[in-house]
Structures are given as C-alpha cells and as structure tokens.
C-alpha cells in the first residue's frame, strides 16, 4: 500500500525566533535539532516555520517547502518534535496510527487535522506504524492472536480468505447473499469491512454472478415480488 498522505504546503507555526544562519540567501532549511521546525530564508533573513502537528520537514530540496509523514523523511539527528496536540483516536493531528484495539492489526487510523478515519488493510495484511503502510503480517512485528472483526447489527461478518468471481479472479469487494431476503445482500469492502446492500426494486441478488438479476434467474427467488408493487422499495445500492 502506498502512502496516502503527502503535504506540499507547510503552515506557519508560532515558534520563537532562533538565531539561524541561512546557508543561502533564499530557500527552506531544516532546524538542526527539531525535525518539524524549519526556516524560510529570504534575502538572507530567516523566518521560523512549523509543520502541522504529526508531520516533519522534508529537507531534500531547499527550493521546496514540504512537510510529510515521518516514515517518508530521514530526520537524522533532528530528534526533537513539537508538543503533540492529540484528539480522540489521534495521537497527533496528522498521520497514520495503529488502531487503539491491540487485536485490530488489520485496521488503522488516518488522522487529518485531528479527525480520525478508520481504514482497513487489504486481506492478509497488518498495519505497520513504522512504515505507515500495510504489509504482510509475517513482516510486521505485531502479535494478534484473535483479529477483531467488524460485525453488523444483524451479526454478519466478512468471511476469511479470498472470494473468487466468475472470471476466476479474487474480488476486491466481494458480495454475499442475505440468508432470508432475496433482494438484500452484503458487501465486504476490501474484503474485510462489511456493509449492507440491496438490489433495486424488481431484482434479486444472484450469488452465482455476484450481481442483481431478474427473479426468474435465481432459484428460490422466482416469486419474491409476487403480490408486491415493484415501485415500493427502490434502493440506490446495486451489486
């Protein structure tokens, strides 16, 4: 999984001015001690700036003002960082962080301005906080004896393993039939995140094709709409 977060514009920070000798008359240069602190040099005068909380200054090109996630930047001896500004679910305002549930190795939080967004890893992968990526679980130094699965209010959870489609290829977002209702089905986003779905009025879910179909093409569902008005239940989600 490639990194999703890359900031090309840094914000000014409220940092006390320090004595800093500009290497060149203009450009952006890292503080020698603090990785998220840097300086904008203009006509030889330095102005201190601070990356958003959770991001650090990328000093590879002095012509560019870049703040990025720590896993993409070699801070070297610049070990210090600004005080974190945590919110619920976010140790810092920005970045990728492991899920607070220690057994949820296949999930992580992406935080943007302190707002957490829970995201799943692809099937078979665990989140590696050091690289901010999902990786093969054998390569990630984490112990998850029992993976915590998402469960819908009716008890459905996504099955383990890949689901192969009619063409013989694994489906990235497989669907599954509802056990009692021909019109309804389940979607497993990235194979792990369950979600309810429903066919449009007049159609039923066909588990052989993983799509909505005419009732007469699905054994056991031929008479599903008998006595019903097909304009009653219109649902926008389709398989």
Residue 9 has pLDDT above 50, yes or no: no
**With bands split at pLDDT 50, 70 and 90, how would you rate the model's confidence at 16?**
very low
User: How far from 217 is each of 77, 203, 222, 226, CA to CA, in Å?
Assistant: 67, 10, 7, 15
The pLDDT assigned to 151 comes to: 86
**Whether the model pTM is above 0.85:** no
Higher pLDDT, 9 or 224: 224
What gap in Å lies between CA 12 and CA 16, rounded to an integer? 12
Range among 3-17, 73-87, 132-146 rated most confident: 73-87
**Measured between alpha carbons, how far is 120 from 134 in angstroms, rounded to an integer?**
9
Which range of 8-17, 77-86, 117-126, 144-153 scores highest in mean pLDDT? It is 77-86
| Structural domains present in the chain | 27-72 (2.170.140.10), 84-144 (2.170.140.10), 164-217 (no CATH)
CB atoms within 10 A of CB 132: 20
What is the reported pLDDT for 123?
74
As a whole number of angstroms, the distance between CA 53 and CA 67 comes to 10
pLDDT surpassing 80 at residue 15: no
Which pLDDT band holds residue 193 (cuts at 50, 70, 90)?
confident
In degrees, to the nearest 5, what angle opens at C-alpha 161 toward C-alphas 160 and 165?
A: 120
Banded model confidence at residue 6, pLDDT cuts 50, 70, 90: very low
Instruction: Kindly report, residue by residue over 85-128, the tens digit of the pLDDT.
Output: 999 989 999 999 999 888 888 889 999 999 999 998 887 788 99
For residue 192, is pLDDT > 70? yes
Render pLDDT for 173-186 as a digit per residue (tens, 0 to 9). 899 999 999 999 99
> Above 80 in pLDDT, residue 18?
no
Task: Answer yes or no: is pLDDT of 238 > 80.
Answer: no
């Amino acid at each position: 999984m490639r990194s999703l977060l890359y900031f090309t514009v840094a914000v000014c920070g409220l940092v006390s001015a320090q004595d800093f000798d500009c290497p060149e008359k203009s450009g952006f240069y890292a503080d020698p001690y603090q990785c998220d602190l840097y300086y904008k040099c203009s006509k030889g005068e330095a102005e201190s700036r601070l990356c958003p909380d959770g991001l650090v200054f990328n000093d590879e090109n002095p012509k560019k003002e870049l703040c990025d996630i720590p896993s993409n930047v070699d801070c070297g001896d610049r070990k210090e960082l600004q005080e974190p500004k945590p919110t619920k679910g976010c140790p810092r305002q920005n970045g990728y962080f492991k899920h607070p549930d220690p057994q949820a190795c296949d999930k992580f939080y992406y935080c943007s301005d302190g707002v957490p967004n829970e995201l799943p890893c692809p099937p078979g992968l665990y989140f590696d906080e050091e690289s901010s990526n999902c990786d093969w679980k054998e390569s990630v130094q984490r112990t998850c004896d029992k993976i915590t699965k998402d469960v819908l209010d009716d008890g459905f959870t996504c099955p383990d393993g890949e689901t192969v489609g009619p063409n013989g290829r694994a489906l990235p977002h497989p669907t599954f039939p509802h056990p009692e209702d021909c019109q309804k089905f389940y979607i497993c986003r990235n194979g792990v995140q369950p979600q309810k779905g429903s066919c449009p009025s007049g159609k039923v879910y066909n588990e052989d094709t993983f799509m909505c179909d005419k009732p007469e093409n699905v054994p056991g569902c031929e008479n599903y709409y008998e006595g019903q008005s097909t304009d009653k239940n219109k649902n926008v989600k389709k398989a």
